[in-house]
Amino acid sequence: MKIILRKLTNDDWTYFAKWWKDPELISMTSGNPEKFSDAAIKKQVQEMVNDARAHHWLIETANRVVGHINLCRMTKSKAELQIVIGEKEYWGKGIGKKAIELVLENGKNLSYKEIYVEVRPENLRARKLYKSAGFIEQGTKKYRNKYLPEVVMMAKNL
């Protein structure tokens, strides 16, 4: 399945409005079940678009937006990758791996030397995906966050 990445725009808030209200998606990502108003989602997407430290793309296939992926600069040579395939009928079709491969190429072009991800320990599908893309588990990290108390750290050198 062919995919393209396109830069996020302010008008793309409606995709996030759907995804951020899906309990199953939230349970695999932030874990925060708080309901967001459309105004709050619009504001958050605008902040994402204007964030100079991050590169945000929507993932499209067959002229349909199916997910979001981003790289956020943590240091001059290190960035964090985040991805969500928000349209569940596209899960398990290789779209996430293709999007990650494209973003890793962008990371090289942006002079990053290492990309890391944080993933919920119980999200075995995501961990398998990251391993297939060359990420190596580095251990766990604890947070003082009732919705996301612990993550598995994974990294890939570019």
Token pair 């491969």 is found at 101
pLDDT (tens digit, 9 = 90+) per residue, 130-157?
999 999 999 999 988 888 888 999 999 9
Neighbours of 145 (CB within 10 A): 12
- What's the longest Cα–Cα distance across the chain? 41
pLDDT (tens digit, 9 = 90+) per residue, 61-110?
999 999 999 999 999 999 999 999 999 999 999 999 999 999 999 999 99
7: helix, strand or coil? strand
Q: Which CATH number fits domain 4-157: 3.40.120.10, 3.40.718.10, 3.40.630.30, 3.40.30.10?
A: 3.40.630.30
CB 51 within 8 A of CB 82: no
Reported pTM: 0.92
